[in-house]
Structure 1
Amino acid sequence: MRLAPALEAATVLVYVVDYTQTRLVPLPIADRAGGEALSVDGSVAGRAFATEQVQEQGGQACRLWVPLVHGCDRLGVLEVTTAQPASPHTRDAAEQVAAAVTQLLISRRFTSDLIERVRRREPMQVAAEIMWGLLPPLSFATDQVVVAGVLEPCFDIGGDAFDYAINGDLLSFAVFDAVGHGTPASLLGTLAIGAYRNARRCGLDLADTARSVDKHLRAHQHGAFVSAVLAELDCATGQLRLIIAGHPAPLLLRDGRVIKVLPGPTALPLGLWHLSDNDPRIEVEALHPGDQVLAYTDGVIEARTENGELFGLDRLVDFLTRALADQLPLPETMRRLVHAILAYQHDQLQDDASAVVVQWRTPRNS
């Protein structure tokens, strides 16, 4: 607000997206409570959030809605209100302020509970608290690759989780689905992520990383298991390598349509490998620039109507085809996917539903 005069503006307000990604909630100013939340769907502010593009809204006062985006990780929007149509100076300055606000939100969210409280429209269960505190940002992008993920129900997730990291040209990513529900499943998923990160950071290859996760899960609790997709993408060549451990097989999308269900599973769920003498089979797929790989947990396709009709793989494929035709940013496509699943089950999921999409954009030298 102190910067408003420098922007030739009357007000400058910060809105953060809530955990459900359905509302943009204003941060309180000093000792004043925040104002009214705005819907992501159907508002100009929501359009700025969804498209990651500045939107201008006329009326008695002009409003600029500037997305708060780090890479492709969407945090919210900045509202800049002016008495007259925004000047080029105001638009440029607003984008600079939005970039600074984005960095402040990122740096402060781990040392203050303010943003967390504002983003929650209902109490978060301990299992979900554990998992959200562990996850990387929902979205990430470089010139070569984009990663976007979603998890539901966001206030009561249990064992669903995902992780990713990029080192040089190698993107490592994984999706986990721990057996059970609630805090026990959350703790099992936490162990799986911790073991995965440890093996990755020790420099183990894909097969040995999976073996390490399996070993730690088995040592923790005999008979407990986690289904998973463990993958590596060489961003220089587009070569994708996967181990599908008792998990639904990922989908390969090209030019806006699903062209292949990748082979799987290629191994038992992690934690149960002692039951087989077979080495994990690593699937190799050569991606084309622009290809997308969607990995998801069974809660996505097993969402049911009141009559017991499954959301199913065909409906998932149909939704993805239509959503990709809109050519929206991948994080927005994933947001719409998870809300389509929730709507199908009247917001009452019987199981966690999570998904991660990875898009290979281009070889480094192209």
Structure 2
Amino acid sequence: MLDPMEAVRRLMDLRHRGRAEDLPAVLTTAAPLLDAEAATVLLVDYGQIALHPLRGTVLDTATSHGLEDSPAGRAFTTARQQWHDDGLLWLPLLHGAERLGVLELRTKTRPSASDRRDLEVIAALVAELIASRRFYGDAVEHTRRRLPMQVAAEVIWNQLPPLTFAVDGTIVTAVLEPCYEVGGDAFDYAANADILHVALFDTVGHGISASALTTLTLNTYRNARRSGLSLADTCRSIDKWIHAQYPGAFVTALLAELDVPTGAYRRISAGHPAELFLRGGRVLPQLPAPNTLPLGLGHMVDRPPRVVETQLEPGDALVLYTDGITEARDASGTLFGVDRLGDFLIEALGRGIPAPETMRRLVQAIISYEDGDLRDDATAAMLQWRRP
């Protein structure tokens, strides 16, 4: 018989003490209270290819699972629990809208609908503990990394917010590749009152020098946003700091704001490709771009950046991307291109695939298109609006 409250109490002991790697041991003691023989945390790797047991797990009782060919993978990709007749139950581990992995339970009997709801609460608590304890040790990072990470990528990943965020039905979700080598691409977002701020950056160059410039760009953007600057003044501030600290260097960017209650969308393209505008199963004409020079080169013209405004309709999606997406090439040299990108997104969203999973599949499609060898950083972010 389930005793979920006692399981909650044992897990909550980790709030004020313990590390992420202590979670497997606590789950082992809590498993009988969940009418389970075993409880295992499986985390997704950086490439979002497979799920792996959290470091600290007894590995002879746990295995990795591919996302494409397993019930555990389906629990992750659909964000819905999966049951297997051999007594295994997988529940998605969601920190807000961010997909961390799954909780695998080997149960003695098939849980009732009521018990499954209780187990979903347990899974939500486990996700919160992973998110809050991950910074006090490296167990989560050791689990998620399947290859050595270059220093430039380490710098960038430590600057980024979670890949997915949702507020009042509106979602923003992003992907970055090559995940262990990325250095010049980045994204950011923040929800403040009614405004959702979203930005995508593509820094000139590669490696540690590019990651240093990206770090300055991200933090200057955040400083301007937190200082209450307008979109145009935010653009000017970033431009000024890049020119002052890295003369001759530049960053292309899309800086956007969405009024969540009304769907009013405003943005500046600083030398960056226009976002894809998706509505009702079709690609709408692109918004005007660019509206100003790349960040760091604004001193070359004597005019303010232009803010483009448009009104979204419920269900509209905007996809911001760097040129590593559209300029991916197959073996014959053919570009992936904007049209193929639009077709891919329309087909995925038309099938009802959630935005985070659509973006995961997009980056896997780009990697496959270039036969596993990306020539450039490939980053994209989807902003999907629904009326609150």
Structure 1 window deviating more from structure 2 (170-179 vs 274-283): it is 274-283
Hey, what does 1:331 align to over in structure 2? 356
Structure 1 counterpart of 2:188: 163
1:89: Cα distance to partner? 5.1
Deviations 1:16-38 (A, max 9, x none): 00000010001144675783211
On the 8 A contact 2:88/2:107 being kept in 1, the answer is: yes
Partner in structure 2 of residue 68 of structure 1: 93
2:78 matched to which residue of 1?
Answer: 51
Equivalent pair of 1:26/1:34 in contact (CA under 8 Å): no
CA distance in 2, matches of 1:347, 1:166: 35
Partner residue of 1:3? 30
Aligned equivalent of 1:285: 310
Per the normalisation by structure 1, the TM-score is 0.96
Q: CA deviation at 1:87?
A: 3.2
Structure 2: 5+ residue stretches without partners: 1-27
Question: In the alignment, residue 248 of structure 2 is paired with which amino acid?
Answer: G
Find out whether 1:19 has 2:46 as its counterpart: yes
Distance apart, 1:276 and its partner CA: 0.7
Deviations, residues 311-357 of structure 1 (Å, cap 9, x unaligned): 11111011111111121211000000010000000111100000011
Show the counterpart of 1:313: 338
The aligned counterpart of 2:9 is none
| CA–CA separation in structure 1 for the residues paired with 2:158 and 2:381 | 18
1:253 aligned counterpart, secondary structure: strand
Partner of 1:233, secondary structure, is strand
More deviation, 305-314/172-181? 305-314
1:351 pairs, out of 376, 380, 387, with: 376
Report the Cα distance in structure 1 between the residues aligned to 2:56 and 2:205, rounded to whole angstroms: 42
Summarize deviations over 1:138-166 as a string: whole Å, max 9, x none.
00001141000000000000110000001
Aligned 1:68-107 pairs, distance under 5 A: 68-88=93-113, 90-107=115-132
Residue of structure 1 in register with 2:259 after alignment: 234
Do the aligned residues in 2 keep the contact of 1:16 with 1:76 (CA within 8 Å)? Answer: yes
Aligned length: 361
SS in 2 for 1:198: helix
Corresponding residue of 2:25: none
What secondary structure sits across from 2:247 in the alignment? coil
* Aligned match for 2:277, one of 234, 252, 266: 252
CA distance in 2, matches of 1:34, 1:26: 10
Q: Show structure 1 runs of 4+ deviating over 6 A.
A: none
Q: TM-score, normalised by structure 2?
A: 0.91
Q: Is the 8 A contact 2:55 2:142 kept in 1?
A: no
Q: Identity over aligned residues, as a percent? A: 53
Amino acid at match of 1:360: W
Whether 1:261 and 2:286 are equivalent positions in the alignment is: yes
Q: What is the distance in 2 between the residues matched to 1:30 and 1:319?
A: 38
8 A contact 2:327–2:336 mirrored in 1? yes
Structure 1: segments with no counterpart, 5+ residues: none
